Structure 1
């Protein structure tokens, strides 16, 4: 095999591999000799078919197989001989005009991983912002639970419904005197002042009494999910079956037992634990962003643009999905289009930090154990339909890149924990609002390119692996209001900003330097 370097620009490399026709012929002859004993042909004893007839019968298939195998082996040899570390799978192009009896030429284009120097960690300092959970916060959370567990009893005869009261109503909706699909219900509960139904509906039932009939006129919002109702004026004929008033929930042992908890003190302890877990998660997020900002500020090495583009496509795909689910998809899409450069900056940051964290981890012996990987695979498999789980497991076990993507988040967390342990950490108590503000400020600084003011956007999760037959994400998808329910759609924020510190799976663990899973190019002729 002859290797000719045709390009060497930064991290980009290109080579032309030439495999002599004589080498291909030798390999074909070896294959013919190998399969001849198994060939059956009328007039010949088993294993005695002449080589020229074997070649005539199977020559085209053997030639294609030999050429493909030779090209694949040549790419592996190229990577080994040149000591290349491919960032992604090489791009392979078969030379034009190839035919049997001629030399085979293959053009190989790839990007290599940069040389990354692990930083000196001796002077690493971090500030840990902590939020103490107070009794008042526990009381507030307990009160919220109690408000959701309200019980209602029939009001006294003649009681006029007010905010906070529950009505049990029958209603029939019509537009221009014609009933519309889904506009009818019986025994529907409605708490006045809850904002549960479309604007104007609840307000016109204030003061209603049990047994009263009313006809009200409302206008469906212009952006109502059911298009045949959006912006239309409708009349609802309503019968009030009952008016109920909320009873007060006593926060005592009986209340706790109604929730399946032994007593009120155990319930308070559980609530405190949940609040502490929430704030601990926020504290970790703040520390991690602070850490990654420090690492990013001290490293500006070139990164493979193929990896950046792949990461950007992940971000962009999620943002487009979020925009499509927005109340105003066109406006949401316009907003993210205006910030496209910001998202490319985020993608590049993720890749650079991923490579840096990988180098730090490898230099310091951080690794994901076989047992941890097995647990990851089993947990991830549970997110798929039962009939698809085994296929998913086989994919992870057979595809190194798929396994690396699954391993990456855990590996990243382990490297981050290692760095936390190495750092000199000072603690400072803050309020939850101050902690959230600090996270938002760090997020904006990480997301914004140099010399540009940080954009304050809500954080978005990195897209997950798509689940067969299910939602791509288990959260963030508000169901559209059904046509048979005149409730207003939940308010939705505009498309969120991708988090700048979610390290890409491809970058978080470097590909192996020895081999590449290059696709076999189909041989011509």
Structure 2
């Protein structure tokens, strides 16, 4: 089949290709299919294999021609791009005639089949030597004291309490009924019965637990508190509230002893085995933070090495993902851009840069991985799918159907695995220096620890730092972006070493 391919636009990364297939070639393909169908179709009044081709053409010609057109439009674009040595950033846009009379002529083989492909090419990337990349890998040595401290925290869940007659002290458990009100009106989620609260655990609103110190069983008390301004429920954030308390019981905690009996309560055979498990968990948490910081260093240096135009379609899609997440975060917190010391215009500019960086680095990592022969195995894909299923108990069937039936869903599992394997490959090639640091140094937020930087300097540097942080934890082409300012919950999570 003759096919004429004419480039009608080559502007930057944008391409437009006109494809023309002569009507006679289309008719020839149709006739070949009709001839093949001649011995298969059964039509009343004709013996098998004796149906005239002209009759078949009258009955089935247009439907067969429509099948041919669909097949050509579906299959030929990828072949055309391959022949041109190009990779499309997204699925090419295909435009055909919308004129019914013209379409009728094409299906009747009276007019050439013409369609236009519009797409952006992925720019050629000239890979730079990786030997010049240097990173510092911060390592924390986990002490025996830290292991014991963590075991004590874990043991809190297994600690027993004994009822006491005296006044409640910090560390005691208070069992109570309570009813919360704002402006004298009870609010949703502000009431409970037989609720247990260990004083000093800081589980409740600041100031709540302090006012329970000294209560006894049977006491009734009204306490006043103010919800934090960053409280997740916007209708309560910053509001003053009262809680009517009825104390049901006060109980004192039993002592925690680090021994085999404690290990047994926690389901472990011995204290030594428990220590081994806890040490491994702590090392794993620190290792995740170390990995993120190393990855951030690598991405920063790749960002300096590679400067090229990025496909606008990919950047637009990435920006929309980021912007959607930003606005969701703001809506959930009940805040505006002004509350975050910025404007919508400034935020758009910041996150547009983040999107461009992510796309560019994603393309670089893809090229590096392809050159190094990095592959994602079926076993790795299955593990990733299983991890997704674990996150949505009771919805396993729906999740499986989604990944089986949604185009591109499997790629969303593959991409982060591929990226991490490329980072591993780079770590085997670049200059890595291990540096022993304290827990505090490892977990330090470089934005908050910067000394001598003015507010304007910090604000100017924020977009790049946020981009790097997001990529370190979510990938160069991650789906989420950091909120305009770090939330208290995120700080708490980082302080506890519970990094992703």
Aligned equivalents of 1:176, 1:317: Cα separation in 2: 35
Name the residue aligned to 1:357: 365
Give the structure with the higher percent helix. 2
Q: After TM superposition, which residue ranges in structure 1, 4 or more long, deviate above 6 angstroms?
A: 173-183, 217-224, 329-334, 448-451
Residue 6 of structure 1 and its aligned partner are, at CA, apart by 1.0
Per the alignment, residue 51 of structure 1 pairs with: 53
- Per the TM alignment, residue 440 of structure 1 is displaced from its structure 2 partner at its CA by 5.6
> Aligned Cα RMSD in Å?
4.2
Q: Secondary structure at the match of 2:249?
A: strand
Deviation at 1:74, TM superposition (A): 3.9
1-structure distance, mates of 2:238, 2:67: 61
Q: What are the equivalent positions in structure 2 for 1:48-197 lying under 5 Å apart? A: 48-97=50-99, 98-99=102-103, 100=105, 101-156=110-165, 159-171=166-178, 185-197=192-204
Aligned counterpart, 1:278: 285
CA contact 1:17–1:74 (8 Å) conserved in 2: no
> Deviation at 1:91?
0.9
Give me the whole-angstrom Cα distance separating, in 2, the residues matched to 1:83 and 1:405.
26
SS in 1 for 2:462: coil
C-alpha distance in 2 between matches for 1:196 and 1:379: 30
Q: TM-score, normalised by structure 1?
A: 0.74
Cα separation, 2, equivalents of 1:426 and 1:209: 58
Assess, with a 3 A threshold, how the Cα gap between structure 1 residues 378 and 453 changes in structure 2: closer, same or farther: closer
Change in 2 beyond 3 A, CA 1:128/1:332: same
Unaligned 5+ residue runs, structure 2? 451-455, 494-500
Match of 2:320 among 303, 313, 317: 313
- Supply the distance in 2 between the matched residues of 1:125 and 1:224 (Cα, whole angstroms): 41
Task: Check the 8 A contact 2:152/2:256 in 1, yes or no.
Answer: no
Q: Is the 8 A contact 2:232 2:333 kept in 1?
A: no
Equivalent position SS for 2:444:
helix
Provide, for residues 367-415 of structure 1, a one-character-per-residue CA deviation record: whole Å limited to 9, x for no partner.
334554555455556666343465456458xx6x554443222222222
Query: 1:289/1:196 Cα in 2 relative to 1: closer, same or farther (>3 Å)?
Result: closer
1:292 to 299, 303, 312: 299
1 or 2 for the larger relative contact order (CA 8 Å, sep ≥6)?
A: 1
2:147/2:275 contact within 8 Å kept: yes
Please name the residue that 1:239 is paired with: 246
Aligned length: 465
1:407 aligns to 2:414 (yes or no):
yes
SS of the equivalent of 2:5 reads strand
Give the aligned partner of residue 347 of structure 2: 339
Whole-angstrom CA distance in 1 between matches of 2:449 and 2:128: 21
Deviation at 1:93, TM superposition (A): 0.7
Relative distance call for 1:93 and 1:415 in structure 2 (3 A) is: same
**Of 347, 368, 376, the match for 1:368:** 376
**What corresponds to 2:498 in structure 1?**
none
Match of 2:269 in 1: 262
Matches within 5 A, 1:497-512: none
Residues 426 and 391 of structure 1, relative CA distance in 2, 3 Å threshold: same
Distance 1:449 1:72 in 2: 52
Q: Residues 295, 198 of structure 1: CA spacing in aligned structure 2 closer, same or farther, 3 A cutoff? A: closer
SS at match of 1:339: helix
Stretch moving more, 211-220 or 295-304:
211-220
Cα distance, 1:327 vs. partner?
5.0
Q: Paired residue for 1:12? A: 14
Partner of 1:427: 434
Q: Which of 376, 382, 397 is matched with 1:387 structurally? A: 397
The aligned counterpart of 1:28 is: 30
Residue 41 (structure 1) aligns with: 43
Cα distance between partner residues in 2 of 1:87 and 1:30: 36
Asked if 2 retains the 8 angstrom alpha-carbon contact of 1:126 and 1:287, the reply is yes
Query: In the alignment, is the contact (CA less than 8 A) between 1:220 and 1:234 conserved in 2?
Result: no
Structure 1, unmatched stretches of 5+, are 466-471, 477-489, 497-525
In the TM superposition, what are the counterparts of 1:220-235 in structure 2 within 5 Å?
A: 225=233
Which whole-Å deviations, capped at 9, do the CAs of 1:210-268 have from their partners, x for residues lacking one? 233445677878978496999586673x4332222223212232222221223333322
| C-alpha contact 1:119 1:360 (8 A) present in aligned 2 | no
Q: Whole-Å Cα distance in 1 between the matches of residues 279 and 66 of structure 2?
A: 68
* CA shift in 2, pair 1:103/1:122, >3 Å: same
The answer to whether the Cα contact below 8 Å between 1:116 and 1:356 also exists between their aligned partners in 2 is yes
User: 1:453–1:205: structure 2 CA closer, same or farther, 3 Å change rule?
Assistant: closer
Greater mean alpha carbon deviation, residues 33-42 or residues 342-351: 33-42
CA apart distance, 1:285:
1.8
Q: 1:67-91, CA deviations, whole angstroms, 9 ceiling, x for partnerless residues?
A: 2223344424422332222222111
Query: Which stretch has the larger CA shift, 313-322 or 3-12?
Result: 313-322
Residue range with higher mean Cα deviation, 10-19 or 364-373 = 364-373
User: Given the alignment, which residue of 2, 5, 16 partners 2:4?
Assistant: 2
Judging changes above 3 Å, is the alpha-carbon distance between structure 1 residues 19 and 180 closer, same or farther for their aligned structure 2 residues? closer
Alpha-carbon displacement from aligned partner over 1:456-504 (angstroms, at most 9, x marks no partner)? 65955549x9xxxxxx99xx9xxxxxxxxxxxxx96569x9xxxxxxxx
| Aligned 8 A contact 2:22 2:111 in 1 | yes
2:261, 2:376 → 1: CA distance?
47
Name the CA distance, whole Å, in 2 between partners of 1:413 and 1:176: 52
Q: Return closer, same or farther for 1:84/1:199 CA change in 2, 3 Å cut-off.
A: closer
Work out the CA distance in 2 between the residues paired with 1:451 and 1:189: 44
